[in-house]
Every structure is written in structure tokens, then in C-alpha cells.
Copies of this chain bind each other. A is one copy, B any other.
């Protein structure tokens, strides 16, 4: 029996992946680029136990057994076993014939547009690769589980190059800059809604490719935007980075609105956060915070360290909460919450459709120092440990 536990991080794209040219191989119609987030708070933890004694593969997600026959999981298992090293065990059986029991847990809401499938499939593939002794680039295996999972294989800034090959061999992740490159970069994850979303990304992007006229325009624009984005990161040019980030998010949601039937991932609270970010940038006289929305209503804000405290004080002013842990993972949080509203925001409540009257951000506001996960930093325990899932017993 072999048991391995690993954790993997979430990534949040600043140039979005939306639309496949091949549904089975998960080959995208445009390249994308993301930041990989710190695992301090949001992460997936996966344990894989492989044994010649198991009669079949099984998987538990967040404590509930799920269907192992899911096409995506099967693709991943097939690919891993195909590439498995063939070391002989004491049992004299080939490792690749061992059945697996997989236990995977997200410590944040699943399928709510918080990139749970990215960390989930990344973690599954990475853990399986340890168990089956697979070496070489595994981002292409993560990709066939869930496209954007391939970007979570690396820390820092990661591109997913769309590739040209029919077999998808060149459609893989590439680290653009590591997590030490832009030390001042921070990320705020605002949890507006942690319920499972109504339109899955898979179904949504399929409809977009089939019915949106705008998606064809977007595909033409992205290559130039990718180049600009990589340069802005290389130059640590926040002004360009922030503008491109917001523009790409806006374009993605315009494609969603142009889809039949239309998809609306952003809700009223999302739009209020957009208003606050815009107002904040106007008040600063430069781009100081950049919103981006994945396929859900939760705003993610990329910003430099110096702006975390003032922007958080504005957000908590307009979205107050008495809940403990409403704001998490923010250094010096007591002082941040005591800060006065910065100048230029005093009158915001007087506006038509005042911000305060809107729906609240549900707990929690999370602040993460940016992208500490690296491939090397994944935890790898040969020890069999399933302490998170005590109800599952092996003999």
C-alpha cells in the first residue's frame, strides 16, 4: 500500500480562459494567464491510497463519495497510469494496476466560482503523479481534468499557452515569473456568494463558443493582450497590469452576456465592488486596484501592498459585518478595521442607489499575500494519513 497526501493552491486568471477548441482534450481557443495564490487559507488537500488489495477505484470529495466514472477523472487516471513508472512491488504486481482510493477536501466553497476545480484537479494529478512515479511535465494531465488546473502546477505568474498541436501536447502551463518577482503584489478575495453557481463553466463556455459573436473578436484580441500582460509583469508596471486585468474581465463577462441564453455571473454586489474600485482609482489619480471576476460573482482584487489597508477599510465600511473571521488573513487587521474612510469616499453614500443599501458581502473577506506556492513546496508525505476524513477506514 502506498499513501501520499499533497496540497495545491488556487489560481485566479488576469487573462481568462473561456472556450474550448477540443472538448475531450480540453484545448482552449485562447491562451490565459494567472497568479497562483498562497495556500495559507484556500487550498485543496488530497490523499491517494493505492493498494493491490482494493477491488476498484473510489473517490470522496468533501466527505461524500462521488462517481469515479466521471469522464474527467477517468481521463486523468488513464493518463497517469499510461505514464506510470513500472517498478515492481513486493506483491510482484505492476504499480499501474493498483486501484486507488482518493480523498480530497477543499477548505473553501466548491463550484462557487472560486477556482475549486483548478486546485482540485491540480492536487489530484500531482498526488497521483507522486504515487505512480510519473515524471516530466504533468500540466497537460491536469489540463485534461480541468483546463485551468494546469496553471496551479506552478507558483507565481503562470501562462497557459493554448498550443497548436491536435493532440494537445503543446497546450500546457509555463511559469512567466516566480512568486518572488513582484513582492508587493497582493490579492483580496471577496466572497460575495459561496453557493454553487447555476451555470457551470463547462456548460457556459460551450454555449458561448456556439452562440456568441463576440467570442470570435475576443480570440483575436487575446494574443496581443497576453504579450502586453507578460511585459507588464516583467516590468512590474502596475498601471498597465491593472488596466489589462479589468479590461479582460469586462470582456469575458460581455461574452457571457452575448451568449444564448445569456449568462450573468456578476450580481449587484459584484457591481458595487466594481464601483468602489473605480472610485478608489479615481481618488488615487492612478490605477491602484484591479478587479477581476471568474465564472461567479466573487470579486478578486489584485493590488499592491500599500493599497490593501485603505481599500479594505473602504470595503468593510460599505460591507460591515459583526461576524468573527469576516476578514481573514490580513496582517494587522485590528488597525485596518479602525481606519477612517479615506478622503473622497465620504459622499459615496449619498449617491443614487447608495452602496450601503445593497446586499452584503457574505463572510468572508480574505486577503492573501501573493503566490507562495511552488511546485517544490507541495507537501509530500509517504505516511498514510487521513486525519481529515476519519470516517473512512482501511484495513
Contacts and interface: CB of A to CB of B under 8 A. Distances in A.
A212 B247 CA distance: 12
Interface in A213-228: 213-214, 217
Q: Is the interface of A mostly helix, strand, loop or mixed?
A: loop
A267 interface: yes
A244 to B, nearest CB: 13
Contacts of A264: 266, 271
Interface stretch (A10-18, A92-100, A167-175, A254-262): A254-262
A195 interface: yes
Contact of A352 (B196, B217, B250, B259): B196
A278 B261 CA distance: 10
A358 to B, nearest CB: 10
Nearest to A195: B352
A253 interface: yes
B258 A262 contact: no
Contact of A257 (B195, B247, B254): B254
Contacts of A261: 250, 278
Contacts of A278: 261
Contacts of A213: 214, 217
A256 B257 CA distance: 9
A227 to B, nearest CB: 19
B353 A195 contact: yes
A257 B252 CA distance: 9
Interface in A254-299: 254, 256-262, 264, 266-268, 271, 278
A233 to B, nearest CB: 22
A250 B254 CA distance: 11
Contacts of A256: 257
A180 B268 CA distance: 41
Nearest to A258: B254
A178 interface: no
A200 to B, nearest CB: 12
A114 to B, nearest CB: 16
Considering the complex of A and B, which 6 residue pairs feature the smallest CB-CB distances, nearest first? A254-B258, A257-B257, A254-B257, A213-B217, A214-B214, A250-B262
16 contacts: A195-B353, A198-B353, A214-B217, A214-B254, A217-B217, A247-B260, A250-B257, A251-B258, A253-B262, A254-B257, A254-B258, A254-B259, A254-B262, A256-B257, A264-B271, A268-B268
